[in-house]
Structure 1
Amino acid sequence: MDRKFHRMEYNSVLSETTILDPRFKKLAFNDNRAVDEALQRVTTAAARASQPTPGGQEGEEAEEDEEERQQPSAVWRLFEERASGDTTRRNPSADAILEVRSYLDEPLCQRSADPLSWWKTKASVYPRLTQVMSRRLCIVATSVPSERIFPKTGQIITERRNRISSSKLRHLVFLNANLEDMGTPSWQVRH
């Protein structure tokens, strides 16, 4: 095992996904230095993550739409100027560090729990980490689906259909694989 999986916890993809899995977090690591490096990368990514605005739009568009909907009184306008000034002075790195620490302080989930469901319920609590997680935990853990596609290519290219261009073959394989994922049997897909 040591030879096969030597320094596996230093693999950036694997270590970040392990840290972001609420079932394992730091528990799956043997080396504290690997934990620190993974946490540093996750914290840096969280600091770079942009926070979406509540309306689902970002930046100036959302502000303009909000102003068009209602013109607040002078008192509320002053309050909102102070509140928005407060958020612009915040440090994204410090916010990301606090978010990571808070996440790590949470108890571990049961091993049988679904980590994506956990993140869905905690999205409002950890908005930056949720964005980082969505880029890390979407990685396919096995190569089996891609290995199933290769025999399909052999089924498409036969002696009678040996002049299919590579781009057309690529499209047919893509459609065949994705339609089966949606529940359409491959025999219904026209080649």
Structure 2
Amino acid sequence: MIERLLELRTVVNNIIIRHKNALPILTASELSILSSVLQVLRPIEAATKEVSGDKYCTSSKVIPLIHCLLLKVKPLKLEDLAKELQSLVLKEIDRRMGVIERVHPLAIATILDPRFKKMHFTEPLACSAAVAKIKELVKTTIQHEAVESDSSGHSDKPEDNFSFWDDHHKLVHKSWKTAKSDDAISDELSIYLCSPVGRLNENPLEIWNDHKIQLPKLHTIAYKYLTMVGTSIPSERLFSKAAQIVNQQRNRLKGKRLDKLLFLQSLPKEHWT
């Protein structure tokens, strides 16, 4: 609204001059304040739109968006009311999002997003804690696969051949699995973190699909955390669409039919041609 008013201020002033009962014209100082206020509000609008999407990964964008928002708002040199608004916005961001890097699901999603990794973390402890959590998840995945392989390879048939070194072979196999687990954790993470950062317009899920063979354990964890939704706006948008379909004239729709209609409504236009 403010941006539109500043763009059309000459036209609005010409219209206001012609009417006796019109509102008073904004002064030059008031227009200057509006321009300063717009500098504070524009980054907030961009961040809100970016995190409210439902066609791309949003959980990994929360921490980078907060960091970029602070980098945009803090350096602004403003005066009067705009400066008060700036300080209020920074205070509210710190109050609501000050500990966002310590939220493990969002931190893990950010690190496992090839476009961001550890670039936007301002707290080293929070970043190291997220990396440690990823290592635990990888280790758990490896141990789970090892247990499944042992159970699948176990035979119920009794062994006829006696071997004196059976216990030795079991100990060697156990130590080999432990060493392999530690090497797999360090190798996959080091390879991923040392690789170049992806472009911002790329889809992180497609990038991970290319790394599936090289980084199989991290690929599984990345798909789990990157597919989370960053905000509740997509679900609220879905409820609003459902309310538009199920109205007083169509109040006897069954759930299966409603699901199909919502699905068809979510398809992009190119799929209808």
From 68, 93, 99, give the equivalent of 1:7: 99
From 105, 116, 133, give the equivalent of 1:41: 133
Change (3 A) 1:182 1:159: closer
From 248, 252, 260, give the equivalent of 1:175: 260
**Contact 1:48–1:92 under 8 Å retained in 2:** no
After TM superposition, the structure 1 = structure 2 runs for residues 124-143 of structure 1, keeping only pairs within 5 Å, are 124-143=213-232
Rounded Cα–Cα distance in structure 2 between residues aligned with 1:126 and 1:145: 31
**How many residue pairs align between the two structures?**
158
Rounded Cα–Cα distance in structure 2 between residues aligned with 1:113 and 1:154: 34
Q: Which runs of 5+ in 1 are unaligned?
A: 64-84, 185-191
Normalising by the residue count of structure 1, what TM-score does the alignment of the two structures yield? 0.65
| Cα displacement (A) at 1:29 | 0.3
Write out per-residue CA displacement over residues 18-46 of structure 1, whole angstroms, 9 at most, x where no aligned residue: 11011211111000000111001111111
Letter in 1 for 2:98: H
From 25, 36, 39, give the equivalent of 2:117: 25
After TM superposition, the structure 1 = structure 2 runs for residues 14-163 of structure 1, keeping only pairs within 5 Å, are 14-50=106-142, 59=149, 88=177, 90-159=179-248, 162=251
Write out per-residue CA displacement over residues 87-145 of structure 1, whole angstroms, 9 at most, x where no aligned residue: 64644244213311221111222323332222122221111101110101111335443
Larger Rg: 2
Change (3 A) 1:152 1:89: closer
**Contact 1:152–1:173 under 8 Å retained in 2:** no
Find the residue that maps to 2:248 and give its secondary structure.
coil
Q: What is the percentage of aligned positions where both structures have the same residue?
A: 29
The 10-residue stretch of structure 1 (89-98 or 33-42) with the greater mean CA deviation from structure 2: 89-98
Normalising by the residue count of structure 2, what TM-score does the alignment of the two structures yield? 0.48
The structure carrying a bigger helix percent of its residues is 2
| Cα displacement (A) at 1:147 | 2.2
CA RMSD for the aligned pairs?
Answer: 3.4
Find the residue that maps to 1:4 and give its secondary structure.
helix
